[in-house]
Amino acid sequence: MAGRFAEYLPESKLKELRDIANAIVSPGKGILAADESVATIGKRFKSINLENTEENRRNYRQLLFSSDRCLAKYISGVILFHDTVYQKMDDGTPLISLLQERGIIPGIKVDKGVVPLAGTHGEGTTQGLDGLNERCAQYKRDGCHFAKWRCVLKIQEHTPSYQAMMENANVLARYAVICQQNGIVPIVEPEVLPDGNHDLFVGQRVSEEVLSFVYKALADHHVYLEGTLLKPNMVTAGQSCSQKFTKEQNAVATIQTLQRTVPPAVPGVVFLSGGMSELDATLNLDAINKAKMKKPWALSFSFGRALQASVIQTWQGNSDNILAAQCELLKLAKATSLGKFDGKLELAAEAKLAELRDIANAIVAPGKGILAADETTIGKRFDSEHIANTEENRRRYRELLFSADRIISKYISGVILFHDTERSIIPGIKVDKGIKPLAGTRGENTTQGLDDLAERCADYKKRGCHFAKWRCALKITEHTPSYLAMLENANVLARYANGIVPIVEPEVLPDGKHDLYTAQRVTEEVLAFQYKALADHHVYLEGTLLKPNMVTAGHNCPCTFSLEQNAVATVQTLQRRVPAAVPGITFLSGGMSEVDATKNLNAINQSSLKKPWALTFSFGRALQASVIKIWSGREENVPAAQYELIKLCKANSEAALGTFSGDLETSAGAQSLFIANHVY
């Protein structure tokens, strides 16, 4: 397992990448994209009747980079073309040295342009991977600390195709990992062109699909997301669309797209201007930053034309106009910096989606979680206390749970297989039909129950159930989980996730002797498959919840890890794989003792790491072991057992807020609730 998940970069390199990426997206700063090829800048010079010579190109770059020092208040980095890296000022100072002296980070365009993609209808891919490692090493020595690689996709009746999205995503991922190996932060640019007559909705869906491919590819290539930046298009309608959309509508579509596809581990998003006018690009960026929506990334700019069109027009190739042109650049850079314009945002949502979203958010209300009263495992719990597993005993036990003092609704928002709206507790239902062997694997599994699921969910909804649970289980061994098992279980969960609010549960079992690092990498891999599948199946993420394992070492691991180490591994895993659109994470207890489950949840919520989701619990054994132990099937023990249940619920409610004191004495206490190969 160590070989499979060996770190390819030391911590010092990861920190360097992280620091560079965060510096580029410092508040109120963005990137000046001055990486125009010789041919592209020639087109701009042509508009002012200026000859496209090397000296004129040098003069223009000198104009840009020698602007007043206050430019660094608005510009954090500049993307350079290869030739510019080696050009000098009139006094012999290298242009790249001038940028560094002014506190502006130099970057470099490393792709070699778009070429036709064989097997497609006029689509393209981007070349430049040959020799990229050597070029990046040289650029790093020459002072470049970030890079840009652009892929382009176009919306037409039959494009972008699966092949084009997959190919461009993998090219971007290969570029990104090569950059990182050389200490260069990769800016990942999968541009969906604005050409066409498609409306805003189509632009949004295609952008979401493209980005889902990109982040699955980055996961597959083990790219360190904390040391990357994304450079996407703002989501807009096609330029030939007859319907007009406001900048507020564009902002909502753009942020929803990012929420659904871009992991919170990414430090920042630097938008390209995509052919917008200088004013429109600035207004749209301003509307995005003013929108009252969840945005766990810095949102800034990486503009080329939208920062330079007026500069070139003012300059006209005349040295007498340099100061005026530089003033124009400063004015544009300042305007594009955050917060200049006023805007009003109006949000509207289709009723069904709003219902799903409202239910999901209610389940993960602050300080509340789920009681997983899963009947299929109750027999095993009864056996531990020598209670006969009869229908009558099961009924009596459920009555005990569900008739506890009404105060329980302060801590419990939902119960699986429970219906009691009178107590403001949302009823949910387990809809899978258990785990079965997965053919073609070494003892791995999938989960059955898709047959007639649509009809069953419709019936459950009529009966008052508003959310559902479906569990898949994957196990860490030398050869598992396999690609097939991760793909199959991810797609099963995605197919299930329709109709009522789905709790998506891809559990990585705690069996084994693997360490914390291996558990983290496997869980990240499983979740990468999961969110790509949910995107492929067009699942509305705002109306879902995730029920994962907390990341811990295997039950038989000889090493001991602290609560804080588990918390960091868990939150990092979520940051790298779970889109911010997901309202909440309801952790399973995974065989932990009641005390350990509560303490681990509390440590996760106390962590200072970025957490754009509610983080709470969906515990079964860790809320019921002591309850069953005290009850023991005896009627006279019901009040004491109910008191124990409320005590456990209260402790986990506090843990969901990060305020648990650590004082919890229960009947089962620190007793491990681990069950080997717990598939059901």
- Residues with catalytic function: 189, 231
Per DSSP, what are the bridge partners of residue 469? 430, 503
Q: Which of 232, 237, 240 is closest to 204 using CA atoms? A: 237
What residues have CB less than 8 Å from 226, skipping those under 6 apart? Answer: 14, 17, 18, 21, 265, 266, 267, 575
What residues have CB less than 8 Å from 343, skipping those under 6 apart? Answer: 247, 248, 251, 283, 286, 287, 290
Distance CA 300, CA 256 (A): 16
State the helix-helix crossing angle for 54-65 and 305-315, rounded to 10 degrees.
110
Distance CA 473, CA 476 (A): 10
Pairing outcome for strands 445-447 and 435-437: antiparallel
CA R_g for the chain: 28
* DSSP run (H or E) holding 33: strand 30-34
- Asked if 367 and 411 touch (Cβ cutoff 8 Å), the reply is yes
- Asked if 104 and 72 touch (Cβ cutoff 8 Å), the reply is yes
CA–chain centroid gap for 511, Å, is: 27
Pairing outcome for strands 412-416 and 369-372: parallel
Q: What SS3 state is found at 553?
A: coil
Q: State yes or no: cis peptide before 639, omega within 30 of 0.
A: no
Cα atoms found within 13 Å of the Cα of residue 466, Cβ hemisphere only: 21
Structure tokens at 449: 């129950």
What residues have CB less than 8 Å from 404, skipping those under 6 apart? Answer: 642, 645, 646
Distance CA 550, CA 524 (A): 12
- Per-residue CA distances from 362 to 226, 245, 431, 496 (Å): 31, 32, 21, 21
The DSSP-derived string for 290-349 is HS-S---SEEEEEESHHHHHHHHHHHTT-GGGHHHHHHHHHHHHHHHSTT-S--------
| Helices vs strands, H then E, count in the chain | 22, 20
- Asked if 301 and 285 touch (Cβ cutoff 8 Å), the reply is yes
Per DSSP, what are the bridge partners of residue 233? 272
Strand residue runs (E) in 358-490: 369-372, 412-416, 426-430, 435-437, 445-447, 467-474
Give the other-Cβ count within 10 Å of 437's Cβ. Answer: 11
State the helix-helix crossing angle for 638-657 and 594-606, rounded to 10 degrees.
20
Distance CA 656, CA 664 (A): 15
DSSP state of 66: T
User: Measured between alpha carbons, how far apart are the two ends of the chain, in Å?
Assistant: 26
